[in-house]
């Protein structure tokens, strides 16, 4: 399992939210989509998560630095299961 931290969330016009989690070095990422309604009725979004290595993809080259910065900040300020 690999630890990843929330680095981005995007809302679309269809009511979906795309959550992007990345490793602290910003090199690898994991995305998850869920219905916007689940944000209101679910347990919330956690600062980080543990994911299988095969669930990780390479981060876009132009996002690595930003992802690394955001992931490091989340790791320093939150526990993995903190709701953000």
Q: What is the pLDDT of residue 76?
A: 96
> Among candidates 18, 11, 83, 9, which has minimal Cα distance to 48?
83
> Among candidates 8, 80, 11, which has minimal Cα distance to 48?
80
How many residues in the chain? Answer: 84
Q: Which residues contact 40 (CB under 8 A, 6 or more apart)?
A: none
Q: Where does 1-84 have alpha helices with state H? A: 36-41, 64-77
Q: List, for residues 19-55, the tens digit of each pLDDT value.
A: 999 999 999 999 998 887 776 676 778 899 999 999 9
């Amino acid at each position: 399992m690999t630890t990843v931290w929330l680095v981005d969330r995007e809302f679309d016009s269809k009511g979906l939210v795309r959550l992007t989690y990345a490793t602290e070095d910003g090199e690898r990422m994991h995305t998850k989509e869920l219905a916007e309604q689940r944000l209101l009725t679910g347990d919330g979004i956690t600062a980080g998560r543990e994911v299988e290595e095969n669930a990780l993809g390479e981060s876009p080259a132009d996002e690595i630095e930003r992802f690394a910065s955001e992931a490091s900040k989340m790791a320093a300020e939150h526990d993995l299961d903190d709701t953000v």
